[in-house]
Homo-oligomer: A and B are copies of this chain.
Amino acid sequence: MPTHSAIVSTPSLDELREQVLEANLELVRRGLVLYTFGNASGLLRSEGWVVIKPSGVPYEKMKPEHLVVSDIDGKVLGGSLRPSSDLPTHCQLYRSFPDIGGVVHTHSEYATAWAQARREIPCLGTTHADYFHGPVPVTEPMPEQEITGEYEKNTGMAIVRAFRNRSPAALPGVLVANHGPFTWGPDPTTAAHNAVILESLARMAFLTVTINSEAEAIGRSLHDRHYLRKHGPAAYYGQTKETR
């Protein structure tokens, strides 16, 4: 149960709280969550502190101080509310993916449909290639004992296994089989952004395969061109710091 004292409020923590709250609200604004579904978190890696949405609290009433702070193993350090029940999944991702600083989970309807269909989302166009360098993977169904055991932590492990030969930087999201999407990024804002993009990609892929069930994934060179014009050292999309 939540306790009250193991953390000290610092400017970085306060800033992270604001960012995590804002990331949660972005999910509402973009129509990705219903009622209290969904959760966004952020990591202060220097301290090993995770800031996450409380469980089952209405978004419209949520304030920075309602967010729960835990250590990277999910032990609650401060706050009087229970954390999202998916906290152990977030923590597992923070432990296994050393470069990420934000995680988002939703049941957004098109991405969830692909997860329920247990189909990876093929890269059918440049919108997808702009954000995901390859198809969006789907996890293997979890074995019985992982479900009845530490289920939420094991959900994180199932994601990590899906990334054994994949880069979480180049593929900032996954579909958990029969469950829904998780996305991530260097910070909570980007993780939420990726959740919004993923839902749009899922919707367009749904439409595409309905129009043409034989639709083919785009070729490697087009995929690379688009991904690399937004990411990496030669990126030329958006404003650079100097010109902005």
Binding site for B on A (CB under 8 A): 1-2, 34-37, 54-57, 80-82, 85, 107, 109-110, 112-119, 124-127, 141-142, 144, 147-148, 151, 178-180, 193, 196-197, 200, 203-212, 215, 218-219, 221-222, 225, 229, 236-240, 243-244
Assembled-state Cα–Cα distance A236/B219 (Å): 46
Q: A116-B204, A147-B221 are in contact. List 18 more A-B contacts (CB 8 A).
A: A34-B196, A56-B238, A57-B239, A80-B243, A82-B240, A85-B229, A85-B236, A110-B207, A113-B204, A113-B208, A117-B212, A119-B212, A125-B178, A126-B178, A126-B180, A141-B219, A144-B219, A147-B219
- Closest Cβ neighbor of A147 among chain B residues: B221
Residue from B193, B196, B221 in contact with A144 in the complex, judged by beta carbons closer than 8 Å? B221
Contact assessment for B211 and A148 in the assembled complex, using a CB-CB cutoff below 8 Å: no
List residues of chain B with CB within 8 A of the CB of A180.
125-127
List residues of chain B with CB within 8 A of the CB of A80.
243
CB distance from A243 to the nearest CB of B (A): 6
Q: Which of A54, A57, A221 has the most CB of B within 10 A?
A: A221
Known: A56-B237, A112-B125, A239-B56. A147 touches B117 (CB 8 A): no
Residue from B113, B144, B151 in contact with A211 in the complex, judged by beta carbons closer than 8 Å? B113
Assembled-state Cα–Cα distance A1/B109 (Å): 42
Contact assessment for B208 and A117 in the assembled complex, using a CB-CB cutoff below 8 Å: yes
- Closest Cβ neighbor of A113 among chain B residues: B207
CB distance from A35 to the nearest CB of B (A): 7
- Closest Cβ neighbor of A197 among chain B residues: B34
Assembled-state Cα–Cα distance A126/B147 (Å): 12
Contact assessment for A109 and B211 in the assembled complex, using a CB-CB cutoff below 8 Å: no
Contact assessment for B117 and A200 in the assembled complex, using a CB-CB cutoff below 8 Å: no
Assembled-state Cα–Cα distance A142/B223 (Å): 12
Contact assessment for B113 and A179 in the assembled complex, using a CB-CB cutoff below 8 Å: no
Assembled-state Cα–Cα distance A238/B84 (Å): 8
CB distance from A146 to the nearest CB of B (A): 9
Known: A56-B238, A124-B178, A243-B81. A206 touches B207 (CB 8 A): yes
